[in-house]
C-alpha cells in the first residue's frame, strides 16, 4: 500500500490521499474579485486527483494584498465572485477545498512578479502599508505604519470575517498564513518586529498577535472544520526567527487545537541565505512533527512520486504540499499513482485516457463503453 495514496483525517475532513495542492498566488484578480482565470486555473487542479486543493491566499482587506491583482475575500462583492468559481468546481469535482487567509503587511503594494515585483509608492498608485513596526522590508522602500490598537483590532476582525465568508462558500479547511514575510510572520520575527509593548520583544510577546488571530478564527468557524497554520520555520538570517522558536510556537498552537502545521521558510528579509535543493525544508517539518506530534505538511521542491512516498514512509511528514511541480504538471497525482502502483480519482470523461497496462489506475471503470 502506498502511504502517499492512503487517506488522512483532519478533524471532520477525510482526505482521500496525502497530496495537497499548495496555495499559489496568481495575481490575476480584479479589485480582489476572482476572474475567469481562477475558474480555469483551479478547475484543472480540481481534476488532478489530489487529496486537498487550496485556493491561493485571500487577503482580508484591500491593503493586505501583495499586489493589486491579489485575490480578496473582504466584502460581499469579492465573496460573490469567488462563489461563482467554486460553484463551477463543485459541479465537476468532489475534491476537498481549503483556503489560505492572509495579510501581506509591509510586503504589500508591489508589482506583479512578472513586472519586477518592486514596491509601488502611494504617489505611483500603490497604498500605505502596515506592519508591527515602522521598518521597511528592503532598503529604499517606503516605511509601513506601525499598527496601533485600533489597527490590530481591525485586522483581528478582518481575519474572522474572512473565515466566516470562507465557511459560507463551503470551504472545508482554513490555513492561516504566518510565513513568507507577511504580516503574521512579521510579528513573529525580531527582524520585522521592533515593538516595545506587549506584542514585541520576548518570544511570548511576538507570538501574541498571531495566536490571537488563530484563537479568533478557530472560535469563529464550526468545530468540524480544521484550521491549520503555515509558518516560515526559519528566516535564514542570523538573529531572525528560527526553528527553535518555531517549535515553541507550534507547541502553543497545538494546545489551542491547531489541526496541522505547514512548514515552509524564509521571506521576511532580502538578506536571507537559503541553500535550496530537493526537499530542502524537510528537516523543519520532520523536527516539528517529532517534537510536537502535530500533523505536518512538507513543502519545498518536492517533485517526484518516490520522493514524496519516502517522506511519508519515513515519518518526516504526514502530507506533502506540491506547488510549482503541480503547475508544471497538473496531473502530477495521476502520474504519481501510476509510478507507485496506486489508484487515483479522475472524472469519467477522462477514463479513456488510461495508458495501456494501467487499466486500474482510475479504479473501477468497468462501466466504460469501449
C-alpha cell read off for 312: 511519508
Distances (CA, A) of 72 to 33, 77, 161, 207, 322: 6, 10, 12, 25, 23
- The answer to whether the CB of 62 falls within 8 A of the CB of 32 is yes
Tell me whether residue 280 is one of the annotated catalytic residues: no
- The answer to whether the CB of 163 falls within 8 A of the CB of 171 is no
Closest CA to 3 of 358, 346, 360, 341: 341
- The string over 287-310, giving b where at least 16 C-beta atoms fall within 10 Å of a residue's C-beta and e elsewhere, is bbbeebebbbbbbbbbbbbeebbe
C-alpha cell read off for 175: 490555513
Q: Is 112 exposed, middle or buried (0-12, 13-18, 19+ CB in 10 A)?
A: middle
Considering 8, 27, 92, 182, which one is annotated as catalytic?
Answer: 182
Residues marked active site are found at 182
Amino acid at each position: 500500500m502506498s502511504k502517499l495514496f492512503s487517506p488522512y483525517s483532519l478533524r471532520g475532513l477525510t482526505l482521500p490521499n496525502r497530496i495537497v495542492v499548495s496555495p499559489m498566488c496568481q495575481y490575476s484578480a480584479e479589485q480582489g474579485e476572482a476572474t475567469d482565470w481562477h475558474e480555469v486555473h483551479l478547475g484543472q487542479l480540481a481534476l488532478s486527483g489530489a487529496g486537498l486543493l487550496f485556493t491561493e491566499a485571500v487577503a482580508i482587506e484591500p491593503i493586505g494584498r501583495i499586489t493589486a491583482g491579489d485575490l480578496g475575500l473582504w466584502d460581499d462583492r469579492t465573496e460573490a465572485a469567488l462563489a461563482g468559481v467554486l460553484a463551477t468546481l463543485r459541479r465537476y469535482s468532489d475534491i476537498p477545498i481549503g483556503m489560505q487567509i492572509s495579510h501581506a503587511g509591509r510586503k504589500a503594494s508591489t508589482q506583479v512578479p512578472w513586472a519586477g515585483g518592486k514596491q509601488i509608492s502611494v504617489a505611483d498608485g500603490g497604498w500605505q502599508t502596515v506592519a508591527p513596526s515602522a521598518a521597511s522590508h528592503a532598503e529604499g522602500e517606503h516605511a509601513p505604519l506601525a499598527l496601533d490598537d485600533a489597527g490590530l483590532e481591525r485586522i483581528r476582525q478582518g481575519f474572522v470575517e474572512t473565515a466566516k465568508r470562507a465557511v459560507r462558500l463551503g470551504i472545508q479547511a482554513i490555513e492561516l498564513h504566518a510565513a513568507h514575510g507577511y504580516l503574521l510572520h512579521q510579528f513573529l520575527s525580531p527582524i520585522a518586529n521592533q515593538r516595545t509593548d506587549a506584542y514585541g520583544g520576548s518570544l511570548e510577546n511576538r507570538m501574541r498577535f498571531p495566536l490571537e488571530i488563530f484563537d479568533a478564527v478557530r472560535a469563529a468557524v464550526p468545530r468540524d472544520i480544521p484550521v491549520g497554520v503555515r509558518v516560515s520555520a526559519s528566516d535564514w538570517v542570523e538573529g531572525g526567527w528560527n526553528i527553535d522558536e518555531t517549535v515553541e510556537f507550534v507547541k502553543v498552537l497545538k494546545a489551542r487545537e491547531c489541526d496541522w502545521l505547514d512548514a515552509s521558510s524564509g521571506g521576511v528579509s532580502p538578506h536571507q541565505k537559503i541553500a535550496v535543493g530537493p526537499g530542502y525544508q524537510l528537516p523543519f517539518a520532520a523536527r516539528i512533527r517529532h517534537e510536537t506530534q502535530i500533523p505536518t505538511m512538507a513543502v519545498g521542491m518536492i517533485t517526484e512520486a518516490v520522493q514524496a512516498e519516502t517522506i511519508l514512509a519515513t515519518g518526516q511528514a504526514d502530507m506533502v504540499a506540491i506547488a510549482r511541480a503541480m503547475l508544471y504538471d497538473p496531473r502530477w497525482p495521476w502520474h504519481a499513482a501510476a509510478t507507485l502502483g496506486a489508484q487515483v480519482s479522475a472524472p469519467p470523461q477522462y477514463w479513456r485516457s488510461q495508458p495501456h497496462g494501467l487499466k486500474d489506475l482510475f479504479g473501477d471503470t468497468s462501466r466504460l463503453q469501449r
